[in-house]
Amino acid sequence: MSEAIEPVSVRVNVFAFRKAVGLPVQVGVTSEALDLSELQTDCNTPIEIEWKIVTKGYRFSTNPPAIFFTSPGSEGVFGPVELCDKLERAKVRILEITGLAYAYTVSIQEESTGFISVLDPVIVQPTR
């Protein structure tokens, strides 16, 4: 019987900030170009990405989706996005390693106002 291989988990912190009082909330992530090519994994090791909101008073949006892959050809490369911990955490498993870069959006919502802010970073996949 074969044992399930534990995925390599990559964490991305998501935060909200204002450049000045009265300006709209902006979204930031720890890496706007998440380079997975630096991971030391073999071709059988699955990769999972986890986004965690680290600013109090915010949660992931459900409409628009919290994490949405916008690059053509991203269907089938990433699994479904799972929202956890009262919409403060999102995770997805990479289903196919292509060596390509994929744009995505991350959408968060301010709990007190309902306003939604969006950022469009990139994931760079490893080549195997």
The predicted-structure confidence for 71-110, as pLDDT tens digits, reads as follows 999 999 999 999 999 999 999 999 998 889 999 999 999 9
Model confidence, pTM: 0.90
Q: Which residues contact 94 (CB under 8 A, 6 or more apart)?
A: 36, 46, 47, 48, 49, 77, 78, 79, 125
104, amino acid identity = Y
Indicate the pLDDT class of residue 2, thresholds 50, 70 and 90. Answer: low
Of 34, 37, 13, nearest in space to 88 by CA: 13
Domains in the chain with CATH codes: 8-124 (2.60.40.420)
Q: What is the CA angle 110-35-84, rounded to 5?
A: 35
